[in-house]
Structure 1
Amino acid sequence: MKALRWHGARDLRLDELQTSAPKHGEVEVQVAYCGICGSDLHEYLDGPHSIPTHEAHPISGCRAPLTLGHEFSGVVSALGDGVEGFEIGDRVAVEPIYRCGHCLYCRNGQYNLCISMGFIGLMGDGGFAERAQVPAYMLHHLPDAVSLRQAVVLEPAAVALHALRQSSLKPGDSCAVFGLGPIGLLLIMLAHLRGIERITAVDIAPERLRLAHEFGACQVLDARNLDVAQHLQRDGGIDCAFEAAGSQATLDAALHSLRKGGEAVLVGLMGEARFDAFHLVNNELRLISSVGYRGVYAELIELLASGKLDLDRVVTRCVLLEQAVSAGFDALLGDKAQIKVLVNPTPALAEA
């Protein structure tokens, strides 16, 4: 089969791989769609960041070179021994977090904090391939009303929903989302769906600010020509800020946009950061973070099935596996109008 493999920074290769039967507890999925995530872009640009290159991941047993892609959906094509609850032909979405199942966090249901936590497609072979073998615990059945194309966006939507659950945000509060990539836009969409009316969207890309308004933001602010924190403080500051860009500038703006007693949630990925501890203490601000997700897929699938949520709205392009680098990765890096680009490794499973 064909698979897009990470061999190094700026070195993604469409390799031909031999296939084997799924192992005990695993399911083979014929991949319909796989989304390109910001994490994939980071690995492509200047990785490795999360990809194991020397020692294999303790759960997957994989190290580079490996197949990227952790946002994917497809159809069950083979079953390993010991798998129950799935049949060949089932339509499924993949919740791509590896978990050991026996550490303190897994026993408490906090599997996104598992001591060996990792993501298929970053720490193990993922979905930029015609077929992928995944642990059965990662799979979710899709009702007929949920398309495979929408299901591929469940993974970034899960990141956004978990961040909302981590926050103290409630109807009647105000919030701002800093950074309007897929996660930021999905935060706005889901916050609006949960009854939050006063949502401010902050970015520097006009195309993304326009989408944020369509998705439920009541105010959009272009940070290129505005002191966002000063602007938001004119009305006393906001209750909750989501930092979804992963930059020092957006972190500063988020913290200084809060009212006294406000809360900032770190969602974007960044390295070392600085903040004014005196400002946090003097204003009794809360600074929390959110990683991955846990226990959110069922709610999102129900929202899709009921028609209350339309994740296809963030998809801007779909390309074949052979076009993934030039028309996918490179397009996302060079065109801010692209939001979520999907790769279709199996044309026979493509949906209109």
Structure 2
Amino acid sequence: MKAAVVHAPGDLRVEEIATPLPAAGEVRIRVARCGVCGSDIPRIVKTGAHFYPIVVGHEFSGRIDAVGEGVDAALVGRQAACVPLIPNFDHPQSALGNFSLGKGYDFIGSRRQGGLAEYVTMPAGNAFLMPDSVDPAAAAFMEPLTVGLHAVNIMDFRPGRRAALVGAGGIGLLLLQNLKRLGAGSVTVFDVDPPRLETALKLGADRVFDSRAADIETDFDDVFETAGAPAAELLALRIAGPRAHVMFVGTPHVPLTLQPAEFELINRKELTVQGSWMNYSAPFPGWEWQYAAAGLERGDYDIAALIDRVVPLSRADEIVGLLSTPGALKGKLIVDCQS
């Protein structure tokens, strides 16, 4: 089969590799569309991969085309989205429904081969069945859709409260749409990229601000940080109101240093500061996935507004240049894995 294989940082090659066969308890997916996640960037162009060679990609959809021993053959032909976390179900945290907090988990596209290929195998429970009416590109957004929903799920979110989003990347813009659906009183979006702020307005934001401006709105009830950058992390503390909830969703890649007066914002405003990791709850994979799938089926999300371009798998070696060039991508990069 054809696959985009990372051999070393910045060395991604489209080549023929063996087509995998599903083991007992597994299914094989014929991949339709695969998104390139921000977490894939260090795996592709830096030193973030666990091993080489590796096929990355965990945001993908396709159809089940083969099943292993013990798996219902009626699943063949069904559309599915990848649930990339393979929990260690024997860990005590898994028994509590905290599947991403247990040690010893596996992960499709990171710790095992992923979806930038024509075919990929996975445990049957990691193939989340999707209605045929959902476009394959939209189904590939299931994983990033559920990231923001998990943050909402584990916090004391209440409809009617004033929410702020710091970071209008893919996760942030998907979370914006969900906050509106879930009844936030208003949603204000902060970013440093004017086109992203324009997109946020089109997707329902009540107000937008350039994060660098001196005169910005403050005193929000719920603040979600999705950028993972120091300036955004600090801004989240600054714009939070008294006794607000501040949820850190973005994955940081550089150190954050707080001055005493900045850290004291947590004390003086009596903030509840929380982190969110991945996107799972009980029963696995959780409410987040059920809610997102139902929304996609109803057409509740504007997915097209988030896609920069679709490239064929045969030209996936272009990904390195796109990821390495600032400003080259204005949205999600999607790979058509059957062309």
Is the pair's TM-score, using the shorter chain for normalization, greater than 0.5? Answer: yes
Shift of 1:179: 1.1
Check the 8 A contact 2:227/2:251 in 1, yes or no: yes
Q: Deviations over 1:229-250 (max 9, x none)?
A: x6223xxx11111111111111
* 1:312 and 2:300 aligned: no
Shift of 1:297: 1.0
Shift of 1:74: 0.4
Task: Please name the residue that 1:166 is paired with.
Answer: 154
SS at match of 1:128: coil
Alignment of 1:60-75 (within 5 A): 64-75=52-63
* Alpha carbons of structure 1 residues 20 and 216: separation in structure 2 relative to 1, 3 Å: closer
For 2:23 and 2:72, how far apart are their aligned partners in 1? 14
Shift of 1:337: 5.6
Check the 8 A contact 1:150/1:310 in 2, yes or no: no
Task: Please name the residue that 2:257 is paired with.
Answer: 274
Task: Please name the residue that 1:182 is paired with.
Answer: 170
Q: Deviations over 1:49-75 (max 9, x none)?
A: xx323xxxxxxxxxx211010000001
TM-score for both structures, normalised by structure 1: 0.88
Task: Please name the residue that 1:301 is paired with.
Answer: 293
For 2:320 and 2:170, how far apart are their aligned partners in 1? 15
Structure 1 unaligned regions, length at least 5 = 54-63, 348-352
* 1:245 and 2:227 aligned: yes
Q: Deviations over 1:170-193 (max 9, x none)?
A: 222111111111001111111011
Task: Please name the residue that 1:107 is paired with.
Answer: 95
TM-score for both structures, normalised by structure 2: 0.91
* 1:330 and 2:321 aligned: yes
* 1:342 and 2:334 aligned: yes
Shift of 1:209: 0.5
SS at match of 1:67: coil
Task: Please name the residue that 2:50 is paired with.
Answer: 52
Task: Please name the residue that 2:38 is paired with.
Answer: 38
Task: Please name the residue that 2:283 is paired with.
Answer: none
Check the 8 A contact 2:31/2:120 in 1, yes or no: yes
Q: Deviations over 1:227-286 (max 9, x none)?
A: 3xx6223xxx11111111111111111101111111211111114323333221122111
When the two chains are superposed, the root-mean-square deviation of aligned CA atoms in Å is 1.8
Q: Deviations over 1:142-191 (max 9, x none)?
A: 11321212100111001111112223232221111111110011111110
Q: Deviations over 1:116-148 (max 9, x none)?
A: 234210111000001001111111111132121
Task: Please name the residue that 2:78 is paired with.
Answer: 90
* Alpha carbons of structure 1 residues 264 and 118: separation in structure 2 relative to 1, 3 Å: farther
Task: Please name the residue that 2:271 is paired with.
Answer: 285
What stretches of structure 1 move > 4 A for 4+ residues in a row?
Answer: none
Check the 8 A contact 2:30/2:119 in 1, yes or no: yes
Check the 8 A contact 1:177/1:244 in 2, yes or no: yes
For 2:29 and 2:251, how far apart are their aligned partners in 1? 29
Q: How many residues align?
A: 328
* Alpha carbons of structure 1 residues 208 and 85: separation in structure 2 relative to 1, 3 Å: farther
For 1:268 and 1:45, how far apart are their aligned partners in 2? 19
Check the 8 A contact 1:128/1:321 in 2, yes or no: yes
For 2:20 and 2:31, how far apart are their aligned partners in 1? 16
Q: Of 194, 209, 218, which residue of structure 1 is paired with 2:197?
A: 209
Task: Please name the residue that 2:12 is paired with.
Answer: 12
SS at match of 1:316: strand
Task: Please name the residue that 2:217 is paired with.
Answer: 232
* Alpha carbons of structure 1 residues 68 and 337: separation in structure 2 relative to 1, 3 Å: closer
Check the 8 A contact 1:304/1:310 in 2, yes or no: no
SS at match of 1:100: coil
For 1:220 and 1:334, how far apart are their aligned partners in 2? 23
Shift of 1:205: 1.1
For 1:256 and 1:20, how far apart are their aligned partners in 2? 50
Structure 2 unaligned regions, length at least 5 = 281-285
For 2:231 and 2:299, how far apart are their aligned partners in 1? 37
Shift of 1:86: 4.7
For 1:314 and 1:231, how far apart are their aligned partners in 2? 25
Percentage of matched positions with identical amino acids: 31
Check the 8 A contact 1:267/1:290 in 2, yes or no: yes
Check the 8 A contact 2:192/2:211 in 1, yes or no: yes
